[in-house]
Amino acid sequence: MNTDWMTFLQSHTGEAYPTYAQAPALMAQPTRASIRVMGAEAAAFLQAMLTQEILTRTPTGAVHAALCNAKGRTLGILQVHPVCTGPEQEYRLSVPTGLAPELIKTLKLYLLRRKVTVALDSDWGFIGLINPTTQHMNALDLNTASHQALEQHITHDGIIITWEQRSEGPRVSVQGPINVLTQYWTRLSPDTEIVTDWAWDHAEILDGIARVTPETYLHFVPQWLNLDLKDGISFKKGCYPGQEVVARLHYLGKPNRRLLVGQCDRAEPLIPGMEIQLRDDPAMVAGEIVNSVAQNPKSGTGQIFLAVMRLKHVHDSLSIDGAPCTLHPSTLARDNQHEDQEASTH
């Protein structure tokens, strides 16, 4: 990570958690990294690599996608940001910092002689803003009308502003060159609570947005992570690594595992990859932790999490390392409802 950015983050560390759930909150996002993909064949290259349709995307919107291996297992979930779709094409891939080197290595294996460069941008940073006010919108030069999820705005100085989902209010990610991004922080911070990225992680879990980590690398097919329910897979595009497996599950089968939100009465953090067992039969594995975060940090108890669950065990009594846990199947129903609504508009 850029040392100037690290110094900036250390000097602008806020409280661990927001004081009020609905209040505006600003945070740095040190766990995000940006992979820059550019060149005359950048769009065609990403089209051939990712689960999502890329060729028709424009700089007005980002999209979720997965990078898989030949067996359809997910190496990482990426947020794809089209920056320039003209002759000199450029895309930004927002990925977890810990996975960036492995994802770049995989992408480069497929470059061959394409006119494309793939590189980690160490001079690029991310900040997040939850519950923006009209003053924040003005500081970002955005209109105050309602915005669609993953709608994107690129400023004249190269900052990418993306509206991201949130169950209880909007959140905005702001990314760009560090020397410019620090100026935006200064514009956004007056009268805004500065917090850690706990608030962002908490919101992503409530939204059912999974994050593959080194611990869960190659553990899941995209449908287990609900990417098909969140417009993260195109079933109309051509081949990509793992496409045959992903398409077969869609057309000839039905996922027997899905991503669900849950909570656990455990003070210690839940590590990605931890097993969820049947409470009456601990030897029986019912699911696997994907991401987690403290549920009620002010009281210091409990975790909320995302887990890939075997659907036949969703209504069973469950535990994690001996601590009772419960699931919220309604989150899966919500995602299915969202998919039906999306399908009706196309």
The per-residue pLDDT for range 125-162, each reduced to its tens digit, is 999 999 999 999 999 988 877 788 899 999 999 999 99
Where in the chain is CATH 2.40.30.110? 256-344
User: For every residue of 62-113, which 3-state class applies, written as one string?
Assistant: CEEEEEECCCCCEEEEEEEEEEECCCCEEEEEEEEHHHHHHHHHHHHHCCCC
**Cα 249 to Cα 275: distance, rounded to the nearest angstrom:** 24
Q: Which two tokens stand for residue 228?
A: 């098909």
The overall pTM is greater than 0.75: yes
User: Which tops the pLDDT comparison, 287 or 202?
Assistant: 287
What mean pLDDT do residues 164-182 have?
Answer: 87
Q: Which two tokens stand for residue 340?
A: 């039906």
Total number of residues shown for the chain = 346
The per-residue pLDDT for range 183-239, each reduced to its tens digit, is 999 999 998 989 888 889 988 998 999 999 999 999 999 999 999 999 999 999 989
3-state helix, strand, coil in the chain (%, to 5): 25, 35, 40
DSSP at 345: T
The per-residue pLDDT for range 56-92, each reduced to its tens digit, is 999 999 999 999 999 999 999 999 999 999 888 999 9
Contact 255, 297 (CB under 8 A): no
Where in the chain is CATH 3.30.1360.120? 3-196
User: Which tops the pLDDT comparison, 166 or 143?
Assistant: 143
Spatial strand order of the sheet with 63-68 comes to 63-68, 74-84, 89-96, 32-39, 117-120
The pLDDT value given to residue 12 = 72
pLDDT above 80: residue 29: yes
Structure confidence at residue 18 as a pLDDT band (50, 70, 90): low
pLDDT above 60: residue 339: no
Mapped onto helix, strand or coil, the DSSP state of residue 5 is: helix
Domain 3-196: CATH superfamily, name plus number: Probable tRNA modification gtpase trme; domain 1 (3.30.1360.120)
Q: Which CATH class is domain 256-344?
A: mainly beta
With a CB cutoff of 8 Å and minimum separation 6, the contacts of 131 are: 22, 23, 24, 25, 169, 170, 171
pLDDT above 50: residue 344: no
